Structures are given as C-alpha cells and as structure tokens.
Amino acid sequence: TRGTLTNMPLSIDRQADGTVLVSEIVWETPNIGDTNTNPTPSFVGNTITEVFFFKNRLGISSGDNLVMSQTGAYYNFYSRTALEVLDTDPIDITISSNQASRIYDVTPFQGQLYMMTREEQFTVEQQGTFSPLGVSVVPISNYSIDPAIEPVVLGDSMFFLSISSDSTRQLREYRLDKNS
C-alpha cells in the first residue's frame, strides 16, 4: 500500500514500575493526493542514519536527505492538503554539494540544526517560519571527520573530531556567536 512505512524505529517507553515497553509506532499514511502531490518521504526504502527532535518535529536523516514530520505530529510525514503548502507540513530536503554528502550525524545546537557528512558540515537555515518553504541547507565548514564519532555539545560549544591528510585526529570546537 502506498504510504505504508515499514522497518521504522520502534517506541521504547519506561513504565512507572521500572519496566520497559517496546512497541511498534502507528505511522500515519497519506489521506489525500498521489505520489506527485503528496510524495512518499525520501527515507522510505533507504537506511536511516539518524533520528532526532527539532522545533517540535521528529527528524530522520537518510543518505543526503533530511526529513522532518509535521509540526507536533511526530508520526506523520505526509501533507494534510494537496492544494497548498502549510507551515506545519513535513520538511524533506536534500543536501546540495559537489561531494558525496551522506549525513552521518544531525545535532541540534543553540537553536539551530547541524549536519555532519564525511567531508563537510552544514546547518539548516530558516527564512521566516520554520516550514517546508522557509528552510534551506547551507555549508558552514569542510573538515574531514570520522563518521564513527558523534559530535558532543558542551555548554555553548560543539566539539567534533576532524581527520587531517596525514590521518591524525584533531579536536575541533564550533561556537556560535549570536552577535556576528
């Protein structure tokens, strides 16, 4: 059936008695449109590399795509109308780069969203409302990274390891200066 999401993440909930309940999530399916007016999310049929929350949306990265659910509707990756794009509609964007851009890590940091690929780092910029029509992916640096080691946020800094041409590792600190 079109829109059926399979092999998706499970829900893991700690219960009041200390036990853990693992269950399948009921993912929403498209109620309107077709594959042209309400396309299947780009992660379908591909390996999911990261799951995160950002600005009241559930996010999933897969390959060079970043997909975020409807605002507040974490299990819905489809639009509710085929006639117009709403600010609350899902976001499905692709990194545009001259290099292979498989996303290895997505990190929310100081109100922004940062993505790490093997050779470049990106941020999701917004013009006005955080919506499908108001976001874009912008490159911010181009360090080679070790994709097996995730960035760490400590206070007002994000740290990650880069790899130099002679294969040595360097600890990099990324700080956001809100005044410049």
| Distance from C-alpha of 74 to C-alpha of 31, rounded to nearest angstrom | 16
- Reported as a pLDDT band with limits 50, 70 and 90, residue 2 is low
Q: Which helix (H) or strand (E) holds 153?
A: strand 152-154
Question: What is the reported pTM?
Answer: 0.85
Res. 19: pLDDT tops 90: yes
pLDDT at 180: 59
Question: Could you report the per-residue pLDDT of 137-156, keeping only the tens digit for each?
Answer: 999 999 999 888 999 999 88
